[in-house]
Amino acid sequence: MSKIKSIIAIVILIISWCLMFWITGNRTPWQAFSSTDKGDGVSVFLGDIPSENYDRMGFTKGLIEYIVSKNAWLVGTDRGELFLFDNSGKQIWKRSLGIGKLVSLCVSHDEKITFVGEQSPAGNLYAIDLDGGDILWKFAAEKVVGVEPDKRSYPSIVHICIDKDDNVYANAYRFVTAKDGGRGYNGKAVAFNKNGEQLWQFPESENIDSWINWCDVNDNNDKVVLSTSAYEIRPDMKYRDTMYLIDKKTGQLINSIEVPPVAPFENTVMRGSPNFSEDGEFLAAACSDGRGMLFDAAGKVLWQRELSKPAQIDNVWINASGRDGFAAEAGVIFTTINTFNRENWQLPTPVEHPSNNSMFVFNYDGTFKYKYRALGTMEQIDFSNNMAACAVGRNVRTHNYAAHGAVVLDLNDGTELNFFHTEGPLQAVAISSNGKKIAGIEAPAVTPEGKIIGAYRLHIWQR
Amino acid sequence: MSVRQLWEGCDAAVWARKLDGRTKLLILFLVAVLAIVVDNPRTLFLLFTATLLLHLSARTSIYKWQVLAILLLLGLWGSMFSQALFFAQTPRTPLFVIIEPTMPVLGQITGGLYIYREGVIYGAVQGLRSAMMLSLGLFVCWTSDPRQLLKALITWRLSPQIAFMLVTAIRFLPVLAAEAGEVIIALRLRSDTRVGRKSIIRHLPYIAKPLLARCLRRAQTLALSVVSRGFFLATARKDEFWHTKEKFVCCLLIIFTIGITFSKIVYLLSEQGLYFGNLRIVYDWTKLYL
């Protein structure tokens, strides 16, 4: 009898050991259950991350790209991990890149290499083999824009784009706040060939003293465009213009464009644009002051539209910042995000701006086609077959949590084709080349009531 | 197997019994350092598994495994369950609701009682730390003659009095267990209660006094015996022979532990702003595995 008791105790210990193996692994029991098929799609847990306040401006990110040749989804996370998942949510491979947060992602045309940018004390740009996740080469942004760990000022590769030869153009950037509250900007555009040999850097011998969030390249006009987005323009700043057009072969400045600001703003800021049209003839950009603009390849303004005109209500200037600008086949597309108080984005606004969280589509001659308004910020848009998949994230004004999810729109008329709801805000989205599958990354958030909604997970939906 | 035998290192595999006391104590110390330094749940789990493998290779008897299993299970599940219930850090995600916050009286008093997902992990990490030490501690206890440990401590120039007291504490563990058993039997016979778990629980509150009395008597005898033998008057002993292979393994373990501690410290410093680019690989490694 006592032997049986001993065996029972040992069996329970063995079971506990197995459970510990499970619990201490990446796929803990609750995560395994959450990755099961839920009818219209699957969800896969991407690991624990700190849940951030719902109302904060900088929020949890996620990166996602559809890989046609592998019929798989490439996912980059704030935990510094890169995954390749198949359509059923099964992990093909995972590569941990260490202490950084992955902030930018681009895939070569032959889909053999992915270029990943991180924010970390080194701020590496990685070239990673898409077959197995091996690092082919890397470049540390720290070398060009520096690092000040004591001030928690870390470099990052904020945006990456590639040309037809898979040459890589990346924005290295570092922001620092001084003790007196002054802001310091350090930006540099760097170009590499696909083997990691540096082609050029702009500017050659100094840093751009402004925020450079975005860049795009075009093979038909051989230009790279950079946009600036500094909070303010100071007299001592050298790079005060809004856009810089650079020769993509030499890295020499072709010209720079200053877009005059509109009241009550003191400078024109572009955060998620401009982007060239496929043929390189047009350049579409949305400004934070709420304007949508179309330029020619030389940077001359062809037309501009007021997407969300700043308005003064109860002595408060409010507006919905413009962010994305695309010159696509369906037309010129712009988006706006949440309503913000001009004085300080954290302050409340008396009303929502009627044009916030919207997508505006225009013909190339500037005539208005339609507008689609989402209930939360369109965090990212991906296109396929005249459709747009939008990641709908937070609405910091209404706290409408039902808005979170992925929306699929018909780009011809803005009709909503599908909506897939997520509990937490959806921060990134991608659509498969045939438009049948959509994948998105949901982030957890702490609501003002102190409740945590959502989790850091990948969703794959079938349309 | 008697209660006394259960706590003595008499039936372990030869290799484990032959290990030098210094080797055992050093490994115990280094693993204790690792248990503090390592935070990664999977790495802690692997360390814990390694200590269980030591028991397997030392051919720990089934009765000892039973004791080990019960102690480990109590520690592990106790820690996981308590942390899952009372996890106070953020983020925390409720898995189950035990008491709804809206429930009358209890809900209002407690503000709701939940099983938190992050608490389970946190509890598992803490539980694994203590389980690892418990398992290794019992391994040392079950494979060592107290004299071995005494010699080891004295060779390390530890004061003979302190060394003696430490070893006596270990030596008295089986004696204490056996005496507790005897006291319970005596109490049971006097009260004419039946054999069983209930009777043990009933008599537990009354064992302290007789046990303490016996301990004092034994301590007095021991003190007299130590003084009469002139134990503490002995001149410093010559260094005992320490097998080269064991020394080598210990050196490797020391280097390994120092390396891990160094990695962890530089990683923590990097988070506080003292970052060195050349150590990036160390930071990455630490984040992934430690």
The residue among A238, A259, A255 whose CA lies nearest residue A301 is: A259
Structural domain A97-258, CATH architecture: 7 Propeller (2.130)
Q: How far is it, in rounded angstroms, from Cα B81 to Cα B73?
A: 11
Shortest CA distance from A455: residue in chain B: B93
Most confident option among A175-179, A326-330, A450-454: A326-330
Burial of A3 (0-12, 13-18, 19+ CB in 10 A): exposed
Confidence of residue A32 (pLDDT cuts 50, 70, 90): very low
A98 vs B90: CB contact, 8 Å cut-off?
A: no
The pLDDT of residue B238: 59
B132-157 pLDDT, tens digit each? 999 998 888 888 877 777 777 778 77
Confidence of residue A101 (pLDDT cuts 50, 70, 90): very high
Residues of A in contact with B77 (CB under 8 A): 16
Residues of A in contact with B283 (CB under 8 A): 98-99, 121
Residues of A in contact with B97 (CB under 8 A): none
Q: In terms of pLDDT, which residue wins out, A347 or B24?
A: B24
Q: How far is it, in rounded angstroms, from Cα A423 to Cα A442?
A: 8
Q: How far is it, in rounded angstroms, from Cα A217 to Cα A213?
A: 14
Share above pLDDT 90 across residues of chain A, in percent, rounded to a whole number: 55
Most confident option among A15-24, A271-280, B117-126, B184-193: A271-280
Compute the average pLDDT of residues B200-209.
76
B251-263 pLDDT, tens digit each? 999 999 999 999 9
| Nearest by CB: A16 against B65, B73, B283 | B73
Compute the average pLDDT of residues A270-281.
92
Peptide bond into A274 cis (omega under 30): yes
Compute the average pLDDT of residues B228-250.
73
CA distances from A65 to A78, A104, A180, A375 (A): 15, 11, 41, 24
Could you tell me the two tokens for B127?
């539980």
Torsions phi, psi for A251 (to 5 deg): 80, 10
Gap from A10 CA to chain B (nearest CA, Å): 6
Residues of A in contact with B111 (CB under 8 A): none
Q: How far is it, in rounded angstroms, from Cα A26 to Cα A91?
A: 12
B91 has a pLDDT exceeding 70: no
| Nearest by CB: A149 against B41, B92, B273 | B273
Q: In terms of pLDDT, which residue wins out, A184 or A179?
A: A184
Q: In terms of pLDDT, which residue wins out, B227 or B239?
A: B227
Contacts of A194 (CB under 8 A, 6+ apart): A108, A113, A127, A165, A166, A167, A168
Contact in structure between B188 and B156 (CB atoms under 8 Å): no
Gap from A302 CA to chain B (nearest CA, Å): 47
A33 has a pLDDT exceeding 60: no
Q: Which residue is it, tokens 């060592």?
A: B144
B70 vs A9: CB contact, 8 Å cut-off?
A: yes
B45 vs A24: CB contact, 8 Å cut-off?
A: yes
B49 has a pLDDT exceeding 60: yes
Gap from B285 CA to chain A (nearest CA, Å): 7
Share above pLDDT 70 across residues of chain B, in percent, rounded to a whole number: 87
- What spatial distance separates the first Cα and last Cα of chain A, rounded to whole Å? 60
B287 vs A51: CB contact, 8 Å cut-off?
A: no
The b-or-e profile of A210-249 (16+ CB within 10 A means b, else e) is bbbbbbbbbeebbbbbbbbbbeebeeeeebebbbbbbebe
Domain boundaries, chain A: 97-258
Q: Does B41 touch chain A (CB under 8 A)?
A: yes
A204-235 pLDDT, tens digit each? 989 998 889 899 999 999 999 999 988 788 88
Contacts of B102 (CB under 8 A, 6+ apart): none
- Selected residues 234-273 of chain B with any CB under 8 Å from a CB in chain A: 270, 273
Helices and strands counted in chain A (H then E): 3, 36
